[in-house]
């Protein structure tokens, strides 16, 4: 985590962390760990959970209309849907439910579009960083 120009914390998450999503209803950050098949849940400067999802999670997006976290699993061709069961007055995850579906018709079109846009922007940013000369 970076505050201005100072690193205030370095958190161990899963292998090859990639895309992240922010849930403003609870303040949590969700990190897709591509080689660990997990999503890490961060509260402030603490990893509070590692949730097992499908194979090789790549993208992660928050849907404010239902409070779900959607994770694209590139290795298994599925989308995991995480329902945290978080109350806005609670500071910890009371329960975590994860379901995985490979049925495209079961995933709302808007969510697919959001996930694709998030992944595309993440790739573009990584390419820009890589191509930038020091």
Q: How many CB atoms lie within 10 A of CB 27?
A: 13
Q: What is the pLDDT of residue 2?
A: 58
d(CA 40, CA 51): 6
| Domain ranges, ordered by start, for the chain | 9-131
Mean of pLDDT values over 73-101: 63
Tokens of 59: 């993208």
Phi, psi dihedrals of residue 123, rounded to the nearest 5°? -65, -45
Domain 9-131 has CATH 2.40.10.500: yes
Percent of the chain with pLDDT over 70: 72
Q: How confident is the model at residue 93 (pLDDT cuts 50, 70, 90)?
A: very low
By the 10 Å C-beta count (0-12 exposed, 13-18 middle, 19+ buried), 133 is classed as exposed
The arithmetic mean of pLDDT across residues 59-63, rounded, is 93
Q: How many residues does the chain have?
A: 134
Residue range 112-122, pLDDT digits in tens: 667 777 777 77
Task: Quickly tell me which residue has 């500071």 as its tokens.
Answer: 91
């Amino acid at each position: 985590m970076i505050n201005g120009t100072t690193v205030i914390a370095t958190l161990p998450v899963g292998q090859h962390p990639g895309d992240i999503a922010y849930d403003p209803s609870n303040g949590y950050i969700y990190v897709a760990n591509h080689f660990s098949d997990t999503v890490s849940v961060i509260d402030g400067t603490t990893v509070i959970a590692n949730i097992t999802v499908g194979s090789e999670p790549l993208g992660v997006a928050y849907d404010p209309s239902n409070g779900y976290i959607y994770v694209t699993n590139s290795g298994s061709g599925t989308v995991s849907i995480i329902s945290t069961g978080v109350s806005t007055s609670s500071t910890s995850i009371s329960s975590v439910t994860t379901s995985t579906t490979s049925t495209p018709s079961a995933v709302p079109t808007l969510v697919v579009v959001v996930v694709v846009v998030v992944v595309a922007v993440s790739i573009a940013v990584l390419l820009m960083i890589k191509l930038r000369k020091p």
